[in-house]
Amino acid sequence: MAAAAVYGAGGAMKGGKLGMEGAVDMQLNRIRITLSSKNVKNLEKVCADLVKGAKAKELRVKGPVRIPTKVLHITTRKSPCGEGTNTWDRFEFRIHKRVIDLISSPEVVKQITSITIEPGVEVEVTIADV
């Protein structure tokens, strides 16, 4: 799977570094945090907070990757009946998605994510082996 491949590649790359940072004893995982929201402002704020928090804990952070926004279009007739000029409403629903990669232990991530959350932002955390 693509995700597994990414993990694998990342793991191979970071193995050496981990050896150097041997002082840190707890097991580290690759953690991917996916943030999605309808509201860009809140989303960006949460992203920035997360990255800042991670950097403060001196974790390796891959900065917020912006996945292309998905736009859901809904085009409906304005009229409740069929009469009249055929005017249409065009509604759209935008979903923004950001991905942040970290390498850390799960507890630390829990701490970070518990602090920063704004309403309306959905957080998904995927934890995999290093």
Partner 1 sequence: MAGRGAGGGGRKTRNFATFRLFPRAGAADPNDRVFVRVDNNDYNVPGFADEDPFDSNFTADAADLHSFASGPLPEHVRREILELGLPDDGYNYLSHLRELRPAASAASSFVPNSTARPEPLPLDVKAYDASRVRVAPSADDLDEGKTMCKVAAKTAPLRRVQRALDPDVARLLDESDFSHGGSEDEGLEEDFVIMANQAEGDDEVEEEEEELGNGIFSDVEEEKEEEEFEDEPKPRVRRLLDEQFDLLALEEYGDSDDDDDDRGGRDGDYELPSEAIEELKLFCDQNGCVDEDYRTPADFVRGRLESTTADEVDESANVIQKCAEYAERYLNEPAEEKETVLVSESSDESEVWDCETIVSTYSNLDNHPGKIETPGNRRKRLPRVFPGETATTNDLIKLHGKEKLPVDYLPQRKRNGEKEKKVKPAEAFNAEKVKKEVHKETKEEKKARKAAVKEEKREARKAKKELKGLYKSETQKAQKVAAVTGPSSIRLM
The distance of closest approach from Cβ of residue 54 to partner 1 in the complex, given in angstroms and rounded to an integer, is 16
Q: Does 28 sit near partner 1 (CB under 8 A)?
A: no
12 touching partner 1, by CB under 8 A:
yes
Structure-token pair, residue 106: 């799960």
Query: Site for partner 1 (CB under 8 A): how many residues?
Result: 28
Using rule CB under 8 A, residue 7 touches partner 1: yes
Under the binding rule (CB under 8 A), the answer on residue 36 touching partner 1 is: no
Selected from 43, 59, 61, 109, the binder of partner 1 by CB under 8 A is: 109
Burial class of residue 119 in the structure, from the number of CB atoms within 10 Å of its CB (0-12 exposed, 13-18 middle, 19+ buried): exposed
DSSP characters over 21-67: TTT--S--EEEEEEEEES-HHHHHHHHHHHHHHHHHTT-EEEEEEEE
Q: Is 74 in the site for partner 1 (CB under 8 A)?
A: no
Q: How crowded is the C-beta side of 63, counted as CA atoms within 13 Å?
A: 2
* Residue 106 near partner 1 by CB under 8 A: yes
Q: Per CB under 8 A, does 105 bind partner 1? A: yes
The answer to whether 123 contacts partner 1 (rule: CB under 8 A) is: yes
Q: Does 1 sit near partner 1 (CB under 8 A)?
A: yes
User: Across-strand partners of 92?
Assistant: 73
Question: Which three-class secondary structure state does DSSP give residue 107?
Answer: helix
Q: What is the DSSP letter of 118?
A: P
Question: Using CB under 8 A as the criterion, which residues of the chain lie in contact with partner 1 when the complex forms?
Answer: 1, 3-5, 7-9, 11-12, 26, 29, 105-107, 109-110, 113-114, 117, 119, 122-129
